[in-house]
């Protein structure tokens, strides 16, 4: 068996930075040389972009796999994100333009945000929350989500945000693991035109936990169960507090938040991040990767605060840089499919950061939708969450960025805390689908099974070879699991194994190939799902594709693909089309990657964060009983897929004519 992933797709398109952006870029090529010369000094300089109450005496203590950054330094994260901007005379500067799905709006200046965070901090203290205590947050995309996080940071409490789409069991398990006593939630939130309940889920979740108080934001006005002595309305408690609060400084290594992410077992991992190093890196990377200009830019990260993207690039990184940003509550197709473009024009958004799955959804809806809007304010486009296939990258550039906006495809994880690999918009000659290069101060490599760096043009496994400021400090309550999960594979070298496959192209640029769990072994070749999906999606008939490896008695695994056709293509003629698609994959990346079988489906199974649940597709391909479907964003999607597979004439394997 080959020990490394096969390197299949090649990309020759290049796009240089716009000259005007390059001329005024926040970060230039010199940053790479500076970091290469003295990495720790480089990060010290980035840390000085923040306000510290007490300077550090040691930049890094590294006892693999445990790191401490800016040792001895003290700061307050909320002060850095809010108060210091008010003190500098920017109290009237808008921090958040919030848009509710029904169309209601709020705009908060930094002075108003300071007041709201101060009142929430007093409220939490009145509930008995002390530094180091854990507070669960289970809210829709409303300003109170960011306010709650910042209030926790202000008083030194550790927040743990749970995405508002998760179930009661998911919330309960996280609350128990964190040992939280307070939960902040809402009566509900709006999604796709209706009010969905949150308080009812929270009520079920807290049974059997240590949660003693539920603080409830009134958002939808729907009726909720109320338990006297436990449940408190936000407007009754928070609004009555003083708008002045004396913050205190905490150690750079003081815990900031726990964010739970899925593990290979049924037990989620509580990823722990601390204060000084994390804030340093998210602040710097937001400044560098998006070329953010505080006085002129309007920024929109279209993620949810329940994910690491929302923590790092809605709350902490952007606010530390005095951002004006858009926060949107609802779905991109409510009340119409042009809602994103409408909001960009309304608020004159200049920087947009969203996920490939959202971009591919826009592609399915058609280029005529963004064409109806001006979108002239946009100047930088970002991608996050999973590898982006080249054709989605090109569609994003051409139909959203109108051919003038650089696309920064970012790679990072909940565990890394901040962006690690990305083009810089004023420096990089971008390539569709490539994250390209580790950022200044970051050490990343593609290695083989033994930890040796692979040559240019080869594939392998992504490893981080030096500690970084925003790195996770462990798994909450389980140091051994932390070592086993992330550091055991390359323990001898002291490398962090990211769990992703990657390749270096002939220029040394990096291409992410997805989770190694999704690698297929076909006749001894380790083939990434990402590359085959990209090849399928490059065909003009395909809107979106997912592939999995299914059991095959001859080749070990056979490639089975699931495709969604663009609206103008007739499913009735799909047998001929699927034969063409198999040939297309062969032409693009070689016969070894030709799918054994292709199926046309109406949708793909995705989590609420937009990631494809390939294990469910493997169940379909291997004709097994479906596994757990509770994480699906749309509960009925697997029934639709199975129905289309069982009755559609294109579902069976399509033999290749000779």
Q: What is the DSSP string of 136-154?
A: EEE--SSHHHHHHHHHHHH
Tell me if 598 sits within 8 A of 584, measured CB to CB.
no
What's the fold here for domain 519-647? GMP Synthetase; Chain A, domain 3 (3.30.300)
Averaged pLDDT for residues 255-259: 98
- Rounded CA gap, 273 and 418, in Å? 11
**Range list of H helices, 378-516:** 390-395, 479-486
* Residues 410-464 pLDDT 10s: 999 999 999 999 999 999 999 999 999 999 999 999 999 999 999 999 999 999 9
The Cα 260–Cα 481 span in angstroms is 14
pLDDT-derived band at 546 (thresholds 50, 70, 90) equals: very high
- The reported pLDDT for the residue numbered 631 is 67
Residue 38 structure tokens = 């003295």
Q: Which three-class secondary structure state does DSSP give residue 171? A: helix
Compute how many other C-beta atoms are within 10 angstroms of the C-beta atom of residue 482: 21
Label residue 264 by pLDDT band (50, 70, 90): very low
Higher pLDDT, 203 or 570: 203
Rounded to 10°, the helix 39-47/30-37 angle is 120
Dig out the tokens for 143 from the structure: 């300003």
Alpha helices in 487-636 (DSSP H): 529-537, 574-589, 614-621
Q: 286 is written with which tokens?
A: 């937001």
Higher pLDDT, 585 or 133: 133
Task: Report the pLDDT value the prediction gives residue 403, as an integer from 0 to 100.
Answer: 97
CA distance 49 to 43: 10
Mean pLDDT on 170-174: 93
- For 463, other C-beta atoms within 10 Å of its C-beta total 22
For residue 627, what pLDDT band results from cuts at 50, 70 and 90?
confident
Q: What are the angstrom distances between the C-alpha of 34 and each of 42, 284, 630?
A: 7, 15, 48
Query: Could you tell me which residues come within 8 angstroms of residue 479 by beta carbon, excluding any fewer than 6 positions away?
Result: none
Range of lowest pLDDT (119-123, 335-339, 471-475, 561-565) = 561-565
| Residue 23 exposed, middle or buried by CB count within 10 Å (0-12, 13-18, 19+) | exposed
The answer, yes or no, to whether residue 228 has pLDDT greater than 80, is yes
Could you tell me which residue, 353 or 639, shows the higher pLDDT? 353
- Tell me the pLDDT tens digit for each residue of 348-379: 999 999 999 899 889 989 999 999 999 999 99
Which CATH superfamily hosts domain 19-443+460-489? ANL, N-terminal domain (3.40.50.12780)
Q: What is the C-alpha separation between 147 and 460, in angstroms, rounded?
A: 42
pLDDT at 653 over 50: no
The rounded mean pLDDT for the chain is 92
Q: Which of 49, 74, 46, 84 is nearest to 469 (CA)?
A: 46
Q: In terms of residues, how long is the chain?
A: 658
Q: CB–CB of 52/277 below 8 Å?
A: no
Express each pLDDT in 569-615 by its tens digit: 655 556 788 889 999 998 887 788 899 999 899 899 987 667 788 88
- Asked if residue 529 lies in contact with residue 518, where contact means CB atoms within 8 angstroms, the answer is yes
Q: Per the structure block, which two tokens stand in for 343?
A: 């909001």
pLDDT band at 636 (very low <50, low <70, confident <90, very high): confident
pLDDT above 70 coverage of the chain, percent: 93
Residue with tokens 């009925």: 636
pLDDT tier at 1, thresholds 50, 70, 90? very low
The first and second tokens of residue 158, run together, are 């550790």
Amino acid 263: pLDDT:
52
Q: What is the pTM of this model?
A: 0.88
Q: Residue 147: pLDDT band by 50, 70, 90 thresholds?
A: very high
Q: Would you tell me how many other CB atoms lie within 10 Å of the CB of residue 222?
A: 15
Q: How far apart are CA 614 and CA 141, in angstroms?
A: 27
Q: What backbone phi and psi angles, to 5 degrees, belong to 76?
A: -120, 120
On whether the CB atoms of residues 234 and 224 are closer than 8 A, the answer is no
Contact 603, 634 (CB under 8 A): yes
Give the dihedral of Cα atoms 233, 234, 238, 240; nearest 10 deg. Answer: -40
pLDDT band at 6 (very low <50, low <70, confident <90, very high): low
Band of residue 187 on the pLDDT scale cut at 50, 70, 90: very high
Domain spans, the chain: 19-443+460-489, 519-647
Tens digit of pLDDT for each residue in 76-108?
999 999 999 999 999 999 999 999 999 999 999
Q: In angstroms, rounded to a whole number, what is the distance separating the alpha carbons of residues 324 and 294? A: 7
Per-residue pLDDT reduced to its tens digit, 509-533: 999 988 887 778 787 677 878 888 8
pLDDT at residue 542, rounded to an integer: 92
């Amino acid at each position: 068996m080959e020990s490394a992933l096969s390197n299949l797709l090649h990309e020759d398109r290049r796009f240089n930075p716009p000259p005007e952006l390059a001329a005024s870029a926040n970060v230039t090529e010199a940053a790479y040389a500076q970091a290469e010369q003295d990495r720790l000094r480089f990060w010290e300089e980035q840390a000085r972009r923040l306000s510290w109450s007490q300077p550090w005496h040691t930049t890094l203590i590294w006892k693999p796999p445990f790191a401490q950054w800016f040792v001895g330094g003290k700061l307050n994260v909320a002060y850095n994100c809010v108060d210091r901007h008010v003190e500098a005379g920017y109290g009237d500067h808008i921090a958040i333009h919030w848009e509710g799905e029904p169309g209601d709006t709020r705009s908060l200046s930094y002075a108003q945000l300071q007041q709201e965070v101060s009142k929430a901090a007093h409220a939490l203290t009145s509930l008995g929350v002390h530094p180091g205590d854990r507070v669960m947050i289970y809210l829709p995309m409303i300003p109170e989500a960011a306010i709650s996080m910042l209030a926790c940071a202000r008083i030194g409490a550790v927040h743990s945000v749970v995405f508002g789409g998760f179930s009661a069991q998911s919330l309960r398990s996280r609350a128990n693991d964190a040992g939280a006593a307070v939960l902040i939630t809402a009566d509900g939130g709006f999604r796709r035109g209706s009010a969905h309940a949150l308080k009812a889920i929270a009520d079920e979740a807290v049974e059997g936990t240590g949660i003693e108080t539920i603080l409830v934001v009134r958002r939808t006005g729907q009726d909720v169960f109320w338990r006297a002595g436990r449940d408190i309305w936000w407007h009754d408690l928070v609004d009555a507090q003083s708008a002045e609060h004396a913050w205190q400084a905490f150690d750079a290594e003081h815990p900031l938040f726990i964010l739970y992410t899925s593990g290979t077992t049924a037990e989620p991992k509580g990823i722990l991040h601390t204060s000084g190093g994390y804030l340093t890196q998210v602040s710097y990377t937001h400044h560098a990767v998006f070329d953010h200009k505080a006085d002129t830019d309007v920024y929109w990260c279209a993620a949810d605060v329940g994910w690491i993207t929302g923590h790092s690039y809605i709350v902490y990184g952007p606010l530390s840089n005095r951002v004006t940003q858009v926060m949107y509550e609802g779905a991109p197709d409510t009340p119409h499919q042009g809602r994103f473009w409408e909001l960009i024009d309304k608020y004159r958004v200049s920087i947009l950061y969203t996920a490939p799955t959202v971009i591919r959804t826009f592609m399915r809806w058609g280029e005529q939708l963004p064409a109806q809007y001006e979108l002239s304010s946009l100047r930088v486009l970002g991608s996050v969450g999973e590898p982006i296939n080249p054709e989605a990258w090109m569609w994003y550039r051409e139909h959203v960025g109108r051919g003038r906006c650089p696309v920064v495809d970012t790679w990072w994880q909940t565990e890394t805390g901040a962006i690690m690999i990305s083009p810089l918009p004023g420096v990089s000659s971008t390539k569709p689908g490539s994250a390209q290069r580790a950022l200044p101060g970051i050490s990343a490599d593609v290695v083989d099974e033994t930890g040796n760096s692979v040559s240019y043009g080869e594939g392998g496994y992504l490893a981080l070879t030096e500690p970084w400021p925003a790195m996770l400090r462990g798994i909450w309550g389980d140091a051994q699991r932390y070592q086993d999960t992330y550091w055991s594979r390359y323990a001898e070298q002291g490398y962090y194994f990211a769990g992703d496959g990657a390749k270096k192209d002939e220029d040394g640029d990096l291409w992410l190939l997805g989770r190694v769990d999704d690698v297929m072994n076909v006749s001894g070749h380790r083939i990434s799902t990402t590359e085959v999906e990209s090849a399928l999606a490059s065909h003009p008939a395909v809107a979106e594709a997912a592939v999995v490896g299914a059991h095959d008695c001859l080749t070990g695994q056979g490639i089975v693909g699931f495709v969604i056709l663009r609206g103008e293509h007739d499913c009735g003629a799909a047998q001929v089309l699927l034969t063409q698609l198999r040939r297309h994959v062969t032409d693009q990346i070689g016969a070894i990657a030709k799918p054994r079988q292709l199926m046309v489906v109406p949708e793909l199974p995705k989590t609420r964060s937009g990631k494809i649940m390939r294990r469910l597709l493997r169940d379909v391909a291997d004709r097994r009983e479906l596994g757990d479907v509770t994480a699906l964003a749309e509960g009925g999607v697997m029934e639709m897929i199975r129905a289309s597979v069982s009755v559609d004439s294109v579902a069976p394997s399509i033999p290749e004519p000779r």
